[in-house]
Amino acid sequence: MSNTVSDIAVKTIDGKEKPLSDYAGNVLLIVNVASYCGYTPQYAGLEKLNQKYRDAGLRILGFPCNDFGAQEPGSNAEIVQFCSTNYDVTFELFDKVHAKGSEQHPLYGRLTSAVEPTGNVSWNFEKFLVSKQGEVVARFKSSVKPDSPKLIAAIEKELDQ
């Protein structure tokens, strides 16, 4: 099975198809996000990462998800409003997805089988790091904060490749 995500298309938050191959040459941090979660304040840290590393080639992709505790009930418009009002989010947000279960988005099917530990996303704000070549290279649990030295080291390593 491939551990690249370049052949997968996703929907932007305003409903347009976007192939992940559009991000070739960038390092991706893919995160399933939610507005009403104990980890929601991580939006602020993700935005700081975005501000610090965007010019170096990092792209943070936020995928709203209501699979965990129904903590993302809002419409796409409500999600955008919440993120911009509360956290000044400027990184890209996408259409709501299922990160697990029978309706799991193909992106999450690939992410959760590409690196150890494999298996379902267990909660909101789980993070997947993708190389400039589109390969899934690391997975970080929800409790790993955006300013975690381990996460930052992994991002910087990929940006330097």
- 65: annotated active-site residue: no
Cis previous bond, 106, omega within 30: no
Do the Cβ atoms of 138 and 144 come closer than 8 Å? no
What would the two tokens of residue 43 be? 């939006």
Side chain identity at 88, as an amino acid letter? Answer: D
Side chain identity at 148, as an amino acid letter? Answer: S
How does DSSP assign 73-99, residue by residue? -S-HHHHHHHHHHHH---SEEB--B-S
User: What distance in Å separates the CA atoms of residue 85 and residue 40, rounded to the nearest whole number?
Assistant: 13
Task: Single out the catalytic residue among 10, 37, 46, 99.
Answer: 37
Do the Cβ atoms of 97 and 128 come closer than 8 Å? no
Phi-psi region of 46 (alpha: psi -120 to 50; beta: other; left: phi over 0): alpha
Residues known to be catalytic: 37
